[in-house]
C-alpha cells in the first residue's frame, strides 16, 4: 500500500515538472553576422596599359669636334694673326731751290749837287720741306677660333608608350609580393641642331620604338585596393641619327638600364583589376657610329612614364 503511494507521488512530481518546463520561454542563440572574405590578390594575371613619357637624352658629340682654327674665318673678323704693316712716313718730294724773282732794281736816292747813282740787288732762296703722312693703324692681332655656335649634347624627349604586361602575385596577410614583365611599343623622340667650329653642322635626334622590363613588386593590400612599389631591369631600343642638307647617318642600339616606381590597383571584380602606375627609367649608355658626324658618340637617355591599365586575374 505504501509502495503504491510513493510511486503515485513520484509520478505526479514528474508530470508537474514536465508541465512547468513546457511553460518556460525558449531562447535561440543570436545569429552570426556574415562577413565576406577579404579579396585575395594571389594568382596569375595579364593585361594592357598605355600612357605618355617624357625625358632627356645626353651624349658627348661635342667632345669629338674640339675647338680649332676656322679656315674660312667668320664675317667681321680678321683671318690670321700678326701685326698689320704701316707704310710709315711718306716723304713729299720738293722741286728744289726757288730762284726767286731775280735782281730788284732800286732807283736809289741822292742829295747834294751833282748826279748820284745807286744799285740794288735781290736774291731769293727756297728750303726743302718734308711732309710726313701716317696711314691708319689696323688691329695688331686677329683671331680665327670662335667658340662653337651650338652643340647637341642634351635635348628633351617625349611621346606615347603602350603595351602588355603579365605577372604573378603571392599574398601573406596584407602583404602582396610578386614579379611582373612588360613589353611596350613606344614613340619617344626628340632632337636639336648643332654647329661646330670646323663647320660640321646638322641636326641630331633620337627615337625609341620599343621598351620592356622585368620587375619585382611589393605591396600592401586593403581589401580590393593594392598599393605597391616596383623595380628591376629595363631594356630599350633606340636609333640615333644626324643629318643636314648634304648627308645623313644613323645607328641603332639596345640599351640596358634600370627602372623604379609605384602604383595603385583596384579590383572591380574578382577577375578585373584596374591600375595607375608611374615609373622612372634610366636606359644607360651605348656607343653609336655616325661617321662624319661622330664615329663614337656615347648616348644615354632617361624617362618618366605614367600609364593606366586593365588586368585580368586568373
Comparing CA positions, the residue from 311, 295, 300, 303 lying closest to residue 63 is: 295
Backbone angles phi, psi at 62, to 5 degrees: -65, -25
List Cβ neighbours of 3 (8 Å cut-off, separation of 6 or more).
Answer: none
Residue 12: pLDDT above 70?
A: no
Q: What's the pLDDT band for 256 if we cut at 50, 70, 90?
A: very high
Give the distance, in angstroms, between the CA of residue 156 and the centroid of all CA atoms in the same chain: 4
pLDDT of residue 61: 94
Contact 193, 224 (CB under 8 A): no
Query: Residue 213: helix, strand or coil by DSSP?
Result: strand
Q: What is the pTM of this model?
A: 0.65
pLDDT of residue 38: 80
pLDDT of residue 227: 98
**CA separation for the pair 153, 51 (Å, rounded):** 27
For cell 619585382, the residue is: 216
Q: What's the pLDDT band for 153 if we cut at 50, 70, 90?
A: very high
Average pLDDT over residues 258-265: 98
Comparing CA positions, the residue from 126, 90, 96, 208 lying closest to residue 159 is: 208
- 26 versus 127: the higher-pLDDT residue is 26
Average pLDDT over residues 28-40: 67
**CA separation for the pair 35, 22 (Å, rounded):** 36
Neighbours of 309 (CB within 10 A): 21
For cell 614579379, the residue is: 179
pLDDT of residue 71: 40
Give the least confident one: 43-52, 115-124, 164-173, 200-209: 115-124
pLDDT in tens, 94-130: 554 544 454 444 444 444 443 444 344 444 444 444 4
Q: What's the pLDDT band for 33 if we cut at 50, 70, 90?
A: low
The full set of domains in the chain, from first to last, is: 43-62+150-313 (2.40.160.20)
In order of 232, 261, 262, 305, the CA distances from 215 in angstroms are 4, 10, 11, 15
Which region holds residue 87: left if phi is over 0, alpha if psi is between -120 and 50, else beta?
alpha
**CA separation for the pair 28, 234 (Å, rounded):** 63
Give the least confident one: 48-62, 91-105, 144-158: 91-105
Residue 233: pLDDT above 70?
A: yes
Residue 199: pLDDT above 50?
A: yes
User: All 3 cell numbers of residue 46?
Assistant: 595579364
Burial class (CB in 10 A: 0-12, 13-18, 19+), 66: exposed
**CA separation for the pair 264, 247 (Å, rounded):** 48
- 133 versus 11: the higher-pLDDT residue is 11
Beta strands in the chain (DSSP E): 43-59, 154-172, 175-195, 201-222, 225-243, 248-267, 272-288, 297-313
User: SS in 3 state form for 268-310?
Assistant: CCCCEEEEEEEEEEEEEEEEECCHHHCCCEEEEEEEEEEEEEE
Neighbours of 208 (CB within 10 A): 25
Amino acid at each position: 500500500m505504501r509502495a503504491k503511494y510513493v510511486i503515485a507521488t513520484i509520478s505526479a512530481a514528474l508530470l508537474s515538472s514536465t508541465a512547468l518546463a513546457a511553460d518556460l520561454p525558449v531562447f535561440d542563440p543570436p545569429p552570426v553576422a556574415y562577413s565576406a572574405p577579404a579579396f585575395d590578390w594571389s594568382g596569375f594575371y595579364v593585361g594592357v596599359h598605355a600612357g605618355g613619357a617624357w625625358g632627356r637624352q645626353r651624349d658627348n658629340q661635342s667632345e669629338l669636334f674640339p675647338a680649332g682654327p676656322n679656315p674660312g674665318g667668320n664675317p667681321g673678323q680678321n683671318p690670321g694673326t700678326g701685326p698689320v704693316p704701316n707704310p710709315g712716313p711718306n716723304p713729299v718730294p720738293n722741286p728744289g731751290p726757288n730762284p726767286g724773282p731775280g735782281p730788284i732794281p732800286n732807283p736809289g736816292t741822292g742829295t747834294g749837287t751833282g748826279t748820284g747813282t745807286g744799285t740794288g740787288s735781290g736774291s731769293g732762296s727756297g728750303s726743302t720741306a718734308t711732309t710726313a703722312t701716317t696711314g691708319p693703324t689696323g688691329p695688331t692681332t686677329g683671331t680665327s677660333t670662335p667658340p662653337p655656335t651650338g652643340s647637341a649634347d642634351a635635348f628633351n624627349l617625349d611621346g606615347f608608350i603602350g603595351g602588355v604586361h603579365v605577372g604573378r602575385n603571392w599574398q601573406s596577410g596584407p602583404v602582396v609580393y610578386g614579379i611582373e614583365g612588360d613589353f611596350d611599343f613606344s614613340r619617344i623622340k626628340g632632337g636639336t641642331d648643332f654647329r661646330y667650329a670646323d663647320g660640321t653642322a646638322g641636326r641630331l635626334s633620337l627615337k625609341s620604338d620599343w621598351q620592356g622590363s622585368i620587375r619585382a613588386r611589393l605591396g600592401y593590400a586593403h581589401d580590393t585596393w593594392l598599393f605597391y612599389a616596383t623595380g628591376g631591369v629595363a631594356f630599350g631600343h633606340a636609333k640615333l641619327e644626324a643629318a643636314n642638307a648634304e648627308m645623313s647617318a644613323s645607328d641603332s642600339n639596345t640599351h640596358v638600364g634600370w627602372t623604379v616606381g609605384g602604383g595603385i590597383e583596384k579590383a572591380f571584380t574578382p577577375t578585373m583589376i584596374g591600375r595607375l602606375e608611374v615609373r622612372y627609367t634610366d636606359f644607360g649608355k651605348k656607343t653609336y657610329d655616325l661617321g662624319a658626324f661622330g664615329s663614337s658618340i656615347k648616348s644615354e637617355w632617361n624617362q618618366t612614364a605614367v600609364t593606366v591599365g586593365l588586368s585580368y586575374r586568373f
